[in-house]
């Protein structure tokens, strides 16, 4: 191997600084969440304790965080499943020519770039003017889909751009029905990417704020609850909650990565060649 | 072909349905309501141009729009510089694919955690008694705490860059990974310096990725309201904040009129950018 150019070391330093910039603040609130009972929102640490975490579990003054957590979790799973199913169907649809495909594509892009508060406002207005009660599982659910679906579809487009069609043709030549081709050829090949879509669907929903603001009704999701807390909670309990939800997100990400890894390993062990279906 | 088209339609129908109900209909509703009237506690159907007349003749509107563009432009420049450098490092200086993927994931993970928490986490850094101030004071750079670190345009843009640089890194990295490495070698063989190769070979080939990143960052910053509200301590305004304020006062028609103008602005901007890049081909 040739020796590293000098720019390599400068760029490495830059990259490390970038990572510090990305992770530094989050790590800081992680540390500060361990403040002693007398500590405040900034350094110095006044002792080390789990006081503020205990507060999260006991005191009801911090609001309904566990209720909002379970709502966010349920909603995240609903959005995740819907995003995967609808994105796969959409991705398959865009491989065929159909009237209106271009229009639908531009709608997806619009859905991606439209300011979130417009979706919130528009959905909220429709629901209130037609007398329906806004609820996180109906209007909130739909509003979040307008954010997760474009990401899911972009991933599917990327996947099918790299998809080797000769595998499907081979299956068809062997007499497989269209459904069998999808079930036994296409889905196994794209499976790891679907886990990516699922991860996006869940986390984007779990963290979404703007699109749920006017569409979730009287029961808050977790991000809404946290934002409410920022205006009236001035103790490190805020950091404890922030640390806890971040750790939860990290665990979710790890679980998904683990699933991808296991899937690939099982494939390799069983001698499946599904991993080669992408070019 | 006929059957193909039908299957395509069936497969696309759930997607179309969701977008129709939760995207097209809400936009239509906003357009309709933007012509309605409002009293202090309710809104009533009408067809009047009052909301637009008020908006377009108010000097505040222009100031707020200028401020929004300012945020978008500065954030764009910062995220582009940082994002390009990071992507370049990952794509051309890291030699093993495993390390590339690992470091790329490391850059992506914060994107999958809560934006609000990531904003909150700047408080201990930038606050009056925060890390930045105490470090600068102990180093003797300043005598008393700097006030403009938190709740200022500075902190707003810092938060934007912190939240959205990823949207530059990902598409630029994706485009760079497709650049044929022999082109770089050819440039070097032809006697180009490192900078010349970067400017005349890498940058032109990376343009589609830069364009997609730009679309993301501009759209996100133009439509934002929560970052501006939180990081400026409600002292600065952008268009999103203006809409949110009207919503808070139950002035939905006026909020809708502002929303329509914002939507037109964003779509014109993004539409112009889309002319320079074929997104589907670049994915």
Annotated domain spans of chain B = 50-282
Q: Which two tokens stand for residue B111?
A: 């994107």
Q: What is the mean pLDDT of chain A?
A: 86
Distance between CA B120 and CA A278 in Å, rounded? Answer: 41
Predicted local confidence at residue B171, as pLDDT: 92
Helix (H) / strand (E) containing A111: helix A101-113
CA distance A259 to chain B (A): 15
Q: CA A56, A58, A60: angle at the middle one, nearest 5?
A: 80
Whether residue B125 and residue A111 make contact (CB cut-off 8 A), yes or no, is: no
For residue A60, the model assigns a pLDDT of 59
Contact by Cβ (8 Å): B23, A107: yes
Does the pLDDT at position A27 exceed 70? yes
What is the model's pTM? 0.90
Query: Average pLDDT of B33-57?
Result: 86
- pLDDT tens for each residue of A34-78: 887 777 777 777 777 787 888 777 765 566 788 888 999 999 999
Choose from A25-39, A75-89, A244-258, B138-152 the range with maximum mean pLDDT: A75-89
B274 vs A90: CB contact, 8 Å cut-off? no
Mean local confidence (pLDDT), B18-27: 95
Smallest Cβ distance to A113: which of B116, B131, B219? B219
Compare B129 and B241 and report the one with higher pLDDT.
Answer: B241
CB atoms within 10 A of CB B234: 11
CB-based burial, A176-213: b 16+ in 10 Å, e otherwise: beeeebeeebbebbbbbbbbbbbbbbbbbbbbbbbbbb
Domains and CATH numbers, chain A: 64-232 (1.10.3720.10)
Q: What is the mean pLDDT of residues A133-157?
A: 92
The answer to whether B91 and B170 have CB atoms below 8 angstroms apart is: no
Residue in chain B nearest A138 by alpha carbon: B22
Of A7, A28, A154, the CB nearest to B121: A28
Task: Tell me the shortest Cα–Cα distance from B279 to chain A, in angstroms.
Answer: 9
Three-state DSSP at A135 gives coil
Residue B212 contacts residue B166 (beta carbons within 8 Å):
no
The pLDDT assigned to A111 comes to 94
Mean pLDDT of A215-221: 85
Min Cα–Cα distance to chain B from A47, Å: 17
- Residue of B3, B5, B10, B11 for testing the chain A interface, max A β-carbons within 10 Å: B11
pLDDT of A277 strictly over 80: no
**DSSP H helical ranges for A41-64:** 51-58
Q: How large is the average pLDDT for residues A175-192?
A: 88
Long-range contacts of B192-195 (CB under 8 A, 24+ apart): B194/A5, B194/A7
**Cα–Cα distance, A238 to A221 (Å, whole number):** 16
* pLDDT confidence of residue A174: 92
The CA distances from residue A133 to A33, A82, A129, A219, A228, in Å, are: 38, 22, 10, 12, 22
> Could you report the per-residue pLDDT of B171-209, keeping only the tens digit for each?
999 999 988 888 988 988 888 888 888 899 999 999 999
In chain A, the percentage of residues whose pLDDT exceeds 70 is 94
Sole residue written with tokens 């180093």:
B139
In the predicted model, is pLDDT for residue A274 greater than 70? no
Q: Provide the mean pLDDT of chain B.
A: 89
Chain B CB contacts of A87 under 8 Å are 15
A178-187, B8-17, B132-141, B192-201: least confidently modelled range = B132-141
Say what the pLDDT of residue B148 is: 79
CATH 1.10.3720.10 describes domain B50-282: yes
Q: How far is A115 from chain B (nearest CA, A)?
A: 4
Question: How far, rounded to the nearest angstrom, does the alpha carbon of residue B110 sit from its chain's CA centroid?
Answer: 16
Query: What number is the average pLDDT over the span B218-222?
Result: 93
The pLDDT assigned to B1 comes to 47
3-state secondary structure at position A278 = strand
Chain B residues whose CB is inside 8 A of the A153 CB are: 15
A227 to chain B: nearest residue by CA?
B116
Q: Which residue of B has its CA nearest to A247?
A: B113
């Amino acid at each position: 191997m040739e020796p590293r150019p000098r720019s390599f070391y400068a760029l490495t330093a830059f990259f490390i600084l970038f990572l510090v910039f990305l992770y530094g603040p989050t790590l800081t609130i992680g540390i500060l969440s361990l403040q002693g009972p007398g500590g405040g929102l900034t350094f110095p640490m006044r002792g080390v304790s789990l006081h503020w975490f205990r507060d999260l579990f006991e005191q009801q003054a911090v609001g309904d965080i566990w209720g909002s957590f379970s709502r966010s979790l349920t909603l995240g799973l609903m959005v995740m499943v819907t995003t995967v199913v609808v994105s796969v169907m959409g991705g398959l649809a865009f491989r065929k020519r159909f009237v209106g495909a271009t229009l639908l594509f531009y709608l997806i892009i619009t859905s991606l770039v439209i300011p979130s508060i417009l979706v919130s406002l528009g959905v909220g207005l429709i629901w209130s003017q037609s007398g329906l009660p806004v609820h996180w599982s109906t209007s909130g659910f739909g509003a979040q889909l307008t954010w997760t679906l474009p990401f899911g579809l972009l991933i599917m487009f990327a996947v099918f751009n790299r998809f080797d069609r000769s595998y499907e043709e081979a299956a068809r030549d062997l007499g497989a029905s269209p459904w069998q081709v999808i079930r036994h050829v296409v889905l196994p090949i794209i499976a790891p990417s679907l886990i990516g879509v699922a991860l996006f669907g869940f986390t984007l929903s779990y963290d979404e704020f703007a699109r749920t603001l006017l569409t979730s009704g009287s029961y808050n999701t977790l991000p809404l609850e946290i934002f409410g807390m920022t205006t009236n909670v001035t103790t490190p309990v805020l950091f404890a909650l922030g640390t806890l939800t971040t750790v939860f997100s990290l665990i979710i990400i790890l679980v998904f990565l683990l699933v991808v890894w296991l899937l690939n390993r099982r494939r390799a062990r069983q001698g499946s060649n599904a991993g080669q279906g992408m070019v | 072909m006929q059957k193909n088209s039908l299957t395509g339609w069936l497969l696309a129908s759930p997607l179309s349905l969701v977008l129709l109900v939760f995207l097209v209909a809400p936009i239509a509703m906003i357009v309709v309501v933007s012509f309605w009237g409002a009293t202090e506690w309710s809104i009533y159907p009408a067809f009047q141009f009052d909301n637009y007349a008020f908006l377009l003749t108010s000097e505040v509107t222009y100031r707020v729009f200028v401020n929004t563009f300012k945020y978008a432009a500065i954030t764009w420049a910062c995220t582009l510089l940082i994002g390009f450098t990071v992507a370049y490092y990952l794509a051309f200086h890291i030699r093993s694919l495993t390390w590339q993927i690992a470091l790329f994931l490391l850059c992506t993970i914060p994107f999958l955690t809560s934006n609000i928490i990531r904003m909150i986490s700047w408080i201990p850094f930038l606050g009056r008694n925060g890390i930045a101030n105490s470090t600068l004071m102990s180093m003797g750079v300043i005598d008393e705490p700097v006030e403009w670190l938190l709740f200022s345009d500075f902190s707003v843009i810092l938060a934007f860059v912190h939240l959205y640089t990823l949207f530059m890194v990902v598409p630029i990295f994706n485009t760079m990974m497709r650049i044929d490495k022999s082109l770089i070698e050819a440039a070097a063989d032809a006697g180009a310096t490192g900078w010349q190769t970067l400017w005349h070979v890498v940058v032109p080939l990376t343009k589609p990725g830069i364009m997609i990143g730009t679309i993301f960052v501009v759209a996100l910053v133009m439509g934002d309201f929560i970052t501006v509200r939180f990081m400026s301590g409600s002292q600065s305004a952008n268009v999103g904040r203006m809409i949110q304020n009207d919503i808070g006062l139950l002035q939905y028609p006026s909020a809708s009129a502002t929303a329509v103008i914002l939507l037109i602005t964003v779509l014109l901007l993004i539409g112009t950018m889309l002319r320079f890049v074929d997104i589907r081909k670049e994915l």
